[in-house]
Structure 1
Amino acid sequence: KTNLIVNYLPQNMTQEELKSLFGSIGEIESCKLVRDKITGQSLGYGFVNYVEPKDAEKAINTLNGLRLQTKTIKVSYARPSSASIRDANLYVSGLPKTMTQKELEQLFSQYGRIITSRILVDQVTGVSRGVGFIRFDKRIEAEEAIKGLNGQKPPGATEPITVKFANNPSQKTNQAILSQLYHSPNRRYPAPLAQQAQRFSRFPPMTIDGMTSLAGINIPGHAGTGWCIFVYNLAPDADESILWQMFGPFGAVTNVKVIRDFNTNKCKGFGFVTMTNYDEAAMAIASLNGYRLGDRVLQVSFKTNKTHK
């Protein structure tokens, strides 16, 4: 019970960021972000294996349901991999443009347990492309869904939908769609933001020297790891999960740290939060500086790189 599967990760989250997010809970034995074999793009899920079962349980309690950018992540125990659950991912096309992710899941849920679902949207207009993915718990469920839904018209649709297994190398069209979708990283934000986001988020992942980044330690204020935010006037019993919950809704948070007294293990009143994107960090600061948490008014600002004598 130490191995977790993490679903619904933001598209642009790296393996390093996944590792530092879960490494804040306890010592990690291994961590893997699953990527498309052909395009190299994140498939939006990964695995984290802890050394201690109690840390895995704590990670589920702390991080399941956490908002990261526009996603709400799902953290659960991973099932042992076996042939019966491999390749249970379906590619669905011809969906009505108005169909939501929830409706897509309702349509398919009669065939088995859905692990993840996704509808691809046009990055500029936000309108559905009529294409989606559904990953079932077991391959046999996916096969049943193909039998039951391929060539059928969903309720309220005028055209039949196509349902087939995803990631079959003969489906060149599937890959073409994926690569066309993903090879335009600067379209993730509306125009003015795009230029800034590109400036900030295109750091090569190994900007910190090899050793520290592998250990998942983020050096505060170091440009390569994002923007470090200083949070002051936290209560003595404040912990990391409070910081995740406060900053998560504003954008990608890669690391949080509460500074504790060595003897009492109580918070010394301050902590740090690292965010990937400058604009999201600035927005978080503007919104949370002066925020009342319990009976305290927080002070939130960019961390200044004062060298402590």
Structure 2
Amino acid sequence: MAVRLCDVASLLRSGSWAAEPWTGQVIAAMETQLSNGPTCNNTANCPNTINNCSSPVESSNTEDSKTNLIVNYLPQNMTQEELKSLFGSIGEIESCKLVRDKITGQSLGYGFVNYIDPKDAEKAINTLNGLRLQTKTIKVSYARPSSASIRDANLYVSGLPKTMTQKELEQLFSQYGRIITSRILVDQVTGVSRGVGFIRFDKRIEAEEAIKGLNGQKPPGATEPITVKFANNPSQKVNHTILSQLYQSPNRRYPGPLAQQAQRFSRFSPMTIDGMTSLAGINFPGHAGTGWCIFVYNLAPDADESILWQMFGPFGAVTNVKVIRDFNTNKCKGFGFVTMTNYDEAAMAIASLNGYRLGDRVLQVSFKTSKTHKA
């Protein structure tokens, strides 16, 4: 279904939401797209409309999924009322929720809109998906109901050619099923690919087929075979194993440097060690309900929040950073916290930055646990 932008713009001007602060932005964005002409490759089918022509919207069979939408990439300052008013211009809404950080109250940049009529939900996707608000291009799609068939469909891919683009990565994997999201991690300084990426399929069986077909194979432009496996889930025991190895490697005569530092500064460490061999009683990892909290230790006294933003931002969505300061001197006490929305991105940030040398200091980076020192 294609909805003309001019009709929506007129509706916004005349409706009760005409005075809303975002209305001018929406109308301006629509008029810009109208004046620039269609941007879709299939111009015959979508003149003066916003459509996702390259990837048709797919809905689930359940009735509820045909009315419930997820809206991603919302402007940081957009409120729930503004979100409701924007989507209410399409049709009657049953419920609307802007997801916020429970601690800071800041928007996490996405929300849910549930319509009463499935036709209004479809119209909202075709009308508002791809609309640019401020510096964001919002994405509107059906919210997928939770089921066993879609869980654990996220893949970790390593050994990728440094020249491979995100589009090429999707092309490589799209033969095995519908891709929900994809990402290639880049170096925070140079912007060059790290040769590591993530692919999330619509269903687990598609991810399994991709592993069978691509793991150990050489994609175009590669000199070495790539590794394709399921991305670690927070509940999997592999997290305990990895963290255990950081503290006490069975192949070492002496405990690793992280264990030694943790013993010296146990009141600051996210992992209190008993005999440096037991990890009992520790929660893995630091999930706070609205994101994954990361503990960063051994920061310099002059470290501030901007350093944490610069370090962790390239790995994914960062919702909050905090440097713990001395009350009297206002200097950093040597540690801080970073909250990231996505587990895979947080895990990759930890894997990349733990042991990273910042100035003359070697950082210790790990998931925050219940035993982490609190400011």
- TM-score (norm. length: structure 1): 0.46
Bigger shift: residues 209-218 or 141-150: 209-218
Q: What is the distance in 2 between the residues matched to 1:16 and 1:199?
A: 50
1:29 to 2:94 alignment: yes
After superposition, give the CA deviation of every residue in 1:228-270 in whole Å (9 maximum; x if it has no partner): 9999999999999999999999999999999999999999999
- Does the aligned pair in 2 maintain the 1:235–1:269 contact within 8 Å? yes
Q: CA-to-partner distance for each residue in 1:267-293, whole Å, 9 max, x for gaps?
A: 999999999999999999999999999
More strand by share: 1
Structure 1 residues 50, 160: closer, same or farther in 2, change over 3 A? Answer: same
Q: For 1:42 and 1:31, how far apart are their aligned partners in 2?
A: 14
How far does residue 144 in structure 1 lie from its aligned partner after superposition? 0.7
Q: Do the aligned partners of residues 210 and 190 (structure 1) sit closer, same or farther apart at CA in structure 2, a change above 3 Å counting?
A: closer
- Match for residue 129 of structure 1? 194
Q: Specify which structure has the bigger relative contact order, considering alpha-carbon pairs within 8 angstroms and separated by 6 or more residues.
A: 1
1:223 CA drift (Å): 27
Shift, 1:213, TM fit? 45
Given that 1:69 and 1:250 are in contact with CA atoms closer than 8 Å, whether structure 2 keeps it comes out as no
Give the deviation of 1:3 after TM superposition.
0.8
Distance 1:7 1:154, change over 3 A: farther
Distance 1:294 1:143, change over 3 A: closer
Query: For residues 263 and 286 of structure 1, do their structure 2 counterparts lie closer, same or farther at Cα, with a shift above 3 Å needed?
Result: same
Structure-2 change in CA distance of 1:88 and 1:181 (3 Å): farther
1:163 aligns with 2:212: no
Q: What TM-score does the superposition give when structure 2 sets the normalisation length?
A: 0.39
Provide the aligned C-alpha RMSD in A.
15.9
User: How many residue pairs get matched?
Assistant: 309
| 1:252 to 1:27, Cα distance in 2 relative to 1, 3 A | farther
Is the contact made by 2:217 and 2:225 (CA closer than 8 Å) also made in structure 1?
Answer: yes
Note the C-alpha offset of 1:90: 1.3
Question: What is aligned with 2:218?
Answer: 153
Runs of 5+ in structure 2 lacking a partner?
1-65
| Cα 1:234–1:168 shift into 2, 3 Å | closer
Deviations 1:83-141 (A, max 9, x none): 11122111222221211111000000111111121222334433222222211111100
The higher radius of gyration belongs to 2
Conserved 8 A contact 1:68-1:248 = no
In structure 2, relative to structure 1, the CA distance for the partners of 1:154 and 1:33 (3 Å cut) is: farther
1:83 aligns with 2:152: no
Asked if 1 retains the 8 angstrom alpha-carbon contact of 2:158 and 2:195, the reply is yes
CA contact (8 A) 2:262 2:271 kept: no
Shift of 1:145: 0.6
- Contact 1:121 1:128 (C-alpha < 8 Å) held by counterparts: yes
Change (3 A) 1:69 1:121: farther
Q: Percent identity?
A: 97
User: Structure 1 unaligned runs (5+)?
Assistant: none
